[in-house]
Structure 1
């Protein structure tokens, strides 16, 4: 070993002893940032179109109700909003293994024209039945996009960057919702479909320039491809030998044959339960309802300029998602989730009180109350509940099971989303908006309390370190992730890593 490397090792060792801020392996220089950012940005372009599918109904449902060519009742509205989740549930059954088979990047390339086709079918639909056909094709496609993208953006960055870069898909997710808002407010619902599919074309063209995940290459036994990918991502001067050795050792220890029963083995059971909990936490908040049905909710609350309120809601979503992306590696995943559920729950309860006073008791309340309540709820939702769960769910699993675990998480998440989106219009019609938002507000507060006690913190840790933690717990061994630092297993404080 040369003197320069010895000096770097000593410096890194001292840094680990004096601070837990750095988690780079000893002797390792930092990789090039710009190419890692570029890869995640290009891949995430598909999320603009994929999540526009979910936000599209917020601005277009009111105009679709006014379209003389369409006849819609409560059931039609519920199905238009929720059928994408059924499509996503169907797609998620196959998404994980398909992503492991052909690759994360390749899956995005394959799905781009299929998702575009779904948008076109909706745009030219002569009736509700064809609209639903296009929407379910979009839903199936989004399952593959979400699964491949979340894994890709977790595997491409170094540990020190994974929090911020791993949340880029969430930033583009929010931006996709806002894109659908803008398209729906300023254009007809048919033209808005073409606007929403445009990012897919850009992603398809640019994705040829970025590499496949290095983890996937190694999973397929292609060490040369793994090294070439790391060289492109980290830079020519980056010594990735330690990274490759650690990845190879992990794959060898867990094997590369993936079966669903692997998820219930001792080393993956707790990560699975945690990932399903954060999916539940995300859906128990009213965030998705407020995003998908924003236009109808503002109208029911008496907001005259509901289109402007929708646009303001969209831009606040971008702002707070960006805030989440910028702070997640400093603040951590757990605090953002706790804060998010608390804010969203309180805002939902305030909105419920407004409906109770005005619709049930007949007491006048100023219109700024529902506007502020909805805007606060969606902002709080975006700072944690929208952004953190997808990243957190893929961080917890080892390389060989990560795509499969992601598809299971997505299946469960979208099944809950479908149930809530499908039930909401009928629940609202039968019991009133005040009952709906008291229910969601209460569930959010309960989720906040449970999250405080069970959610661990993963910020700054490499994927291998996270896996080693759960495996060492099951073996009854002391946690040796950071031999030079104190490691707590106190989940009540959230600092189990």
Structure 2
């Protein structure tokens, strides 16, 4: 079992500094509203099919419009790491927020199917580029004492975005729902203009004066940031080219955290979380749930929002590791109970699938929903943070596409009960990996976490950014 380090970031954080970091972090977090909207938007396509314009949308078009996000995610993730290092996270965020307002409006009122496809692809590109670096950007802007709470907010915002689209789709037309999706992104773009650039990125570019200016904006003009500048000088190695980052992957302390986060996110996706939310209506119908399937789906969305709200303040109190392990245990158990109930065809148990999925969604919102992305921002070392994020995001999108693509095949061949049991097995493996190899990141500075995967050895005192650093031995096997 991986030991839980006692070392915490013991620096004093003033109220004014906390407020500034919270405000900046909120702007970055709200950019993930794009993820919630783009993932939930296909729910309004049936209304477009029922009231066609100058073009018809077939079921095949719907399938492509839904699945294109996985394909786009794979393609953009290959370039996103290089783009972050070239532009910087602040400028890249602005570049991707700028066209979204117009794309949503154009998609709402276009009379051409080809334009609908192009707008959908453009929005997915912006979504997945932002998705590949927003957690790292939040982690680099916020100090350890508040980083967990801010880093948990994006998942809450995504959940709210999904629920908002579900509710709007029940009351308004395709045009109105799609046009309303544009509303938040124009003011969000102007707010993002005032964000400071990541001091870590600036240090990797050897822009030391700009590093201090960025930290002063984040912490406040009266705060002394000289110590932070010194720490960044020691720990943020200059690694801006793709080739230099690939070279850094050879080092154990760089590749191990990438593999760890990659395995957690991959198993989370193999456990079927995207499919369960995307095809919930089909699942409820096949399971024989007596309640209306669309109403059941809205209940899932509400439960996810509520539990995500609970998780935001709790992550900095209880820590990431216990929440992820506990969440995965409950998710896997819920899937097994539903699966065995359906396979055994127990009479009078039609309520079990709904109750089980509500429990699954509650546990998912408390841990699995946001923690893997938080870990990506916290655990990936500075020299390989961009390329590591790209590798992880590419694999995540590939698995998302595969699981969603074969879901109907699984239902046809092993039915819903067998599919859920298969998904539960992935959760079992996730629990094992998190229990034995995942270190706790709560309250630790990014500089402290840089040494978390170094072989246990005697460190020189000059390499410490605090009085006593704790290192963790993480075996390859």
2:196 counterpart of 1:201? no
CA contact (8 A) 1:291 1:378 kept: no
The two structures have a TM-score, normalised by structure 2, of 0.87
Q: Distance in 2 between matches of 1:456 and 1:343?
A: 21
Aligned partner of 1:454 in structure 2 is 437
The gaps in structure 2 that reach 5 residues or longer are: none
Q: 1:94 to 1:491 in 2, by over 3 A?
A: closer
Q: 1:161 to 1:291 in 2, by over 3 A?
A: same
Q: Distance in 1 between matches of 2:6 and 2:222?
A: 25
Aligned partner of 1:336 in structure 2 is 323
2:394 to 405, 411, 426: 411
Aligned partner of 2:372 in structure 1 is 389
Q: 1:85 to 1:61 in 2, by over 3 A?
A: same
The structural deviation recorded for 1:121 is 5.2
Aligned partner of 1:373 in structure 2 is 356
Alignment of 1:21-420 (within 5 A): 22-25=8-11, 32-57=17-42, 59-60=43-44, 63=47, 70=56, 72-73=58-59, 78-120=63-105, 122-124=107-109, 131-252=116-237, 255-259=239-243, 260-261=245-246, 262-301=248-287, 302-357=289-344, 361=345, 363-420=346-403
The structural deviation recorded for 1:241 is 0.6
CA contact (8 A) 1:289 1:421 kept: yes
Q: 1:61 to 1:372 in 2, by over 3 A?
A: farther
The structural deviation recorded for 1:173 is 2.0
Paired residue secondary structure (2:439): coil
Q: 1:316 to 1:221 in 2, by over 3 A?
A: same
The structural deviation recorded for 1:168 is 2.1
The structural deviation recorded for 1:458 is 1.5
Aligned partner of 1:473 in structure 2 is 455
CA contact (8 A) 2:17 2:220 kept: yes
Q: 1:184 to 1:28 in 2, by over 3 A?
A: closer
Number of residues of Structure 1 aligned to a counterpart in Structure 2: 464
Q: Distance in 2 between matches of 1:411 and 1:479?
A: 37
Q: Distance in 2 between matches of 1:256 and 1:122?
A: 37
Q: Distance in 1 between matches of 2:63 and 2:242?
A: 37
CA contact (8 A) 1:283 1:417 kept: yes
The structural deviation recorded for 1:275 is 1.7
The structural deviation recorded for 1:413 is 1.0
The structural deviation recorded for 1:156 is 0.4
CA contact (8 A) 1:120 1:194 kept: yes
Q: 1:36 to 1:483 in 2, by over 3 A?
A: closer
Paired residue secondary structure (1:197): coil
Aligned partner of 2:408 in structure 1 is 425
The two structures have a TM-score, normalised by structure 1, of 0.84
Q: Distance in 2 between matches of 1:226 and 1:303?
A: 59
Aligned partner of 1:16 in structure 2 is none
Q: Distance in 2 between matches of 1:67 and 1:346?
A: 42
Q: 1:114 to 1:93 in 2, by over 3 A?
A: farther
CA contact (8 A) 1:183 1:196 kept: no
* RMSD between superposed Cα atoms in Å: 2.9
Q: 1:446 to 1:28 in 2, by over 3 A?
A: closer
CA contact (8 A) 1:104 1:213 kept: yes
The structural deviation recorded for 1:204 is 0.6
